[in-house]
Amino acid sequence: MTIRLYCFGESGNAYKAALALELSGLDWEPVKVDFFGGETRSPDYRARINPMGEAPVMIDGDLRLTQSGVIQDYVSEKSGKFGGRDATERREILRWVLWDNHKLSSMAGMTRFLMNFLPEDKRPKEVITFNQGRLQAAYGVLNDHLEGRDWIVGDAITNADLSCCGYLYYPEPFGFDRSAWPNIDAWLTRLSDTPGWKAPYDLMPGSPADRA
């Protein structure tokens, strides 16, 4: 049975789940969510798909999962990939997934939204500047950790990598300059050189160009 992932191209959190599915080799298909048209806020979406009013949502038969980290964990369980080799690695992967959700993706996603998807006269400059300061600290943590490493945990791609990269491939500006962080830059290149890798707008339906 084909796994369905409710997602949209602009979402870095949806990209984490979609990329895990794509690289896992599991049979899956994207289902476009019209986020910018208000679909996730509709009573129908909340009743049928996700009462939290969010994407991504993964449906595999009778199983329904939300939150990208949970979906990634399920993909690992089903495919045998990206989950670490032992309990120590699994805990370390979880540590980085939680760190990413709190320190990196949350700030990057919000900052990118404020800078690119709001009308220019409604963009809160002080909030953006504050967020970018938080992001600089997060980039520093990740860049330092990747010194002398190919991957965030262990010697292969794991959900730690697939989580932390979620917003870093997007073309819209939000204060991330790959060239300023050489270890992150090299890591992102290794990941994008992996067979089967696709950029967000190539992997999921929906992009800013659709609304231009």
The model's pTM is 0.97
At residue 73, the pLDDT reads: 98
pLDDT of residue 211: 83
> Is 29 in the same domain as 125?
no
Residue-wise DSSP of 61-93: TTEEEESHHHHHHHHHHHHS-SS-SSHHHHHHH
Nearest of 79, 89, 85, 83 to residue 196 by alpha carbon: 79
Same domain, yes or no: 117 and 51: no
Condensed to tens digits (0 to 9), the pLDDT of residues 110-167 reads 999 999 999 999 999 999 999 999 999 999 999 999 999 999 999 999 999 999 999 9
Of residues 35, 87, 79, the one with CA closest to residue 56: 35
- pLDDT at residue 105, rounded to an integer: 98
Which residues does the chain have with pLDDT short of 70? none
Tokens representing residue 71 in the block: 């979906």
N residues, the chain: 212
Q: Does one domain contain both 56 and 92? A: no
Residues 54 and 25 in one domain: yes
* CA 199 to each of CA 18, 63, 133, 191: distance values in angstroms, whole numbers, following the listed order: 10, 27, 26, 11
Q: Kindly state whether residues 160 and 133 are assigned to the same domain.
A: yes
At residue 212, the pLDDT reads 74
User: Which H/E stretch holds residue 28?
Assistant: strand 28-32
Closest to 103 in 3D by CA, of 166, 151, 41: 166
Do residues 208 and 172 make contact, with C-beta atoms less than 8 angstroms apart? yes
End-to-end CA distance of the chain: 36
What phi and psi, each to the nearest 5 degrees, are found at residue 31?
A: -120, 120
In the prediction, which pLDDT does 156 show?
97
Range of the domain at 176: 87-192
The structural domain count of the chain equals 2
